[in-house]
Chains A and B, each alone.
Chain A
Amino acid sequence: MTLQRLNPADHFTLVLDHEIRKSGLAGNYCALAMELDGVPEHAEIARCCSAFAKRFPLAVARLSRQGRQYAWVPADADSLPFQVCTLDNDADGAAGQQRLLTLVNRVVPVSASAPFELHLIESAGRSLLALCWFHPAADAKGAELVLHHLFNDPQPARQPLPLPVDHLQQQWGLWRKLRLARQAVVNIHRLDRYASVLPLETQSPADRLALKLVRYDAEQTAQIMAHARKHTGMTGTTLYLIGCMMRALEAAGATPAGNAYCVPYAVNLRRRKALFPVLGNQVSFLFAQAERDMVHSRELLFAHLRDQNRAAIRQGLDHAMLPLMQAGSWLALEKYGRIVRNSPTRRERSSFWFSYTGDMEPEPESIAGCRVRGMYQLSQVSSPPGLGLLASSFHGRLVLSYNYINNQFQTDWLERLTQAMTAELLDLAEKFP
C-alpha cells in the first residue's frame, strides 16, 4: 500500500474527531455491535481478520499528517486487531454494552488509532461481536460492508475506480466546483438565520459517551414505516425519524433558547445494494431544519421537511457540500471545526447528530458459525449537542441507539425523550398545547 490521502468526506470526519476530543471525549470512534447466539471460534475470527487485512491494506494503516493535509500511511501490522473479553454473567446484555462503551471511550492518539478493531465480548453461551472503527476510515454503511467482507464474502471486493466521492469531483471543472461551493455556502447562511435549539445548555465538560437502546418489534416497525410512508411519502423514512425526534425533544423539554431545530444527515453516494466501495467515507451531507413553532404540528412539520428535502436535491445541494469540504481540508483542523459546527453567532448549529442506515446490507444470518440475533450501532458525539440518534434496522426490526454524554443528561429526561419518541413514531403522541 502506498500513501493514500483522505477524501473530503474522510477529512470532514477527522475534523469532527478533533471537535469531539476538544469536548473532552475520546475521539470520533464508532462501533457496529452484532449480538450472537453462541460464541464463535477465536481462531476463525483471527483468520478472517488476517485475510481482510491482506485484501485491504488500508484497514491496518495509520493516519499521518502530510503537509497541510492527512493521509493513511502503511503500518507495521498484518491483521486487524482482535481482542476477546469474557464476562461472568451478562444475561440481559447490559454488561456487554458497558464493556463496549469502555472500548469506545478509550483515549488513543490519532496517529495510533487503528482504522478497525474487532472485539468479542463473551458470556455464558452468547456473545457480542463488535467492529469498532475510527470514522475517517469508513462511514456506517461501509462498516456493514467491512463486516460482510470479513466473514461472508471470500471473493475480492469489486472496487471500481474512481470511488463515488472522487468520481463526482472529477466530473466537475473548477467553475462548477466554485458554483456548487457557493450554493452550499448560501444554503448554510440560510440555515444560520435561525438559532438552533439544543437538547440542553451545559457548561460542564463532557466525561464519556453513554448509550440507551430502544428496540421495536416487527409489528411496531411495520407501523412506523407505514406512518413514514404516509407522512413523508416515497422520499423519506430519514425525514420521518428526524421529524419525530424534533417533536420528541420539544415534548421532553429541550432548552428554551433557539428558534429552530437543525439536523445534519449523511447522504450515501454508493449505488444502492452495491458491496463496494468498502473503505473511505462515501457520503455528502444535507440539513433538515424546522422552526420551533412548526414542530408543534405533525402535518406541517413533515410536509415542510419533505418539501425542503426535495428542493435541496433539485438544487443539487446533496452534492454541493463536497467542493466545500474539499476546500475545508486545506484549513487547520481547529479553524475548519469552528466553521463546521458554529453559526456566525458562535452557537452550535446541530440540534443533535443523526444517522439512519436502514436495513443492514447484506444482512448476515450468521457470523463465524453463530446465528446473529440482533445488532446496534454507537458513535461518539461532540458536546454540544452531546446527543446522537443512530437508527438502523435488522430482521425487519427498528433499533434506535441514543448516544449521549453521560454527565450531561439526566436519566429521567432521557426516559421522557425516548418515550416521547416512541409515541411520535407510532403516531400516538398527544397534541402540543
Chain B
Amino acid sequence: MLQNLKSYIFQELLFLENPDDFGEDDDLLQAGLDSMSIMRLVLFIENEYGVVLPDDELTPENMQTLKRLENWIKRHRQKQT
C-alpha cells in the first residue's frame, strides 16, 4: 500500500527530483502537498481501497506522512469490513 500511495503522489500530485529518497515518515505537507492535491489523494484512496474517508478526519494527524496515511486507511478498512 505504501508503495502504491507513493507512486500516485509523486506521479500525479507532487514533483520531487528524487522521489525514491522520500521516506514513509517524511512530511508530505512540507514537501508541498496542497489543498487540491489532498482532495485528489483522498479520492484516489477511496476508489483504490474501497473506503470512505470522512471529511472531518482530513487532518495533519492522518495525512502528514505516508505511514500516517496508511494507518488511517487501514483503520477505516477494518471498520468498514
Contacts and interface: CB of A to CB of B under 8 A. Distances in A.
A244 to B, nearest CB: 16
A234 B58 contact: yes
A310 to B, nearest CB: 6
Interface in B33-54: 33-40, 43
A309 B14 CA distance: 20
B35 A238 contact: yes
Interface residues of B, number: 22
A162 to B, nearest CB: 14
A273 B36 contact: no
Contact of A271 (B13, B35, B60, B63): B13
Contacts of A238: 35
Which of A235, A236, A309 counts the most B-chain CB atoms under 10 A from its CB? A235
Contacts of A306: 55
B26 interface: no
Interface string B58-81: 111001000000000000000000
B32 interface: yes
Contacts of B16: 273
A166 B29 CA distance: 27
A313 B29 CA distance: 19
Contacts of B33: 272
A358 B33 CA distance: 13
Contact of A234 (B14, B43, B59): B59
B61 to A, nearest CB: 11
B14 A233 contact: no
Contacts of A272: 13-15, 32-34, 37
A233 B16 CA distance: 25
Nearest to B64: A234
Interface string A269-299: 0011111000000000000000000000000
Q: Report whether over half of chain A's contact residues are helix, strand or loop; otherwise say mixed.
A: helix
A318 B43 CA distance: 12
Contact of A235 (B31, B38, B60): B38
A267 B39 CA distance: 12
A314 interface: yes
A234 B36 contact: no
A237 interface: yes
Contacts of A7: none
Nearest to B63: A234
B32 A273 contact: yes
A25 to B, nearest CB: 30
A274 B36 CA distance: 15
Given A271-B12, A271-B15, A272-B14, A358 B34 contact: yes
Nearest to A307: B55
28 contacts: A234-B35, A234-B38, A234-B58, A234-B60, A234-B63, A235-B36, A235-B38, A235-B58, A236-B35, A238-B35, A267-B36, A268-B36, A271-B12, A271-B13, A271-B15, A272-B14, A272-B32, A272-B33, A272-B37, A273-B14, A273-B15, A273-B16, A273-B31, A273-B32, A310-B55, A313-B39, A313-B40, A313-B43
Complex A-B, nearest 10 residue pairs according to Cβ-Cβ distance, in ascending order: A274-B15, A235-B35, A313-B39, A272-B32, A271-B15, A273-B32, A273-B15, A272-B14, A236-B35, A234-B58
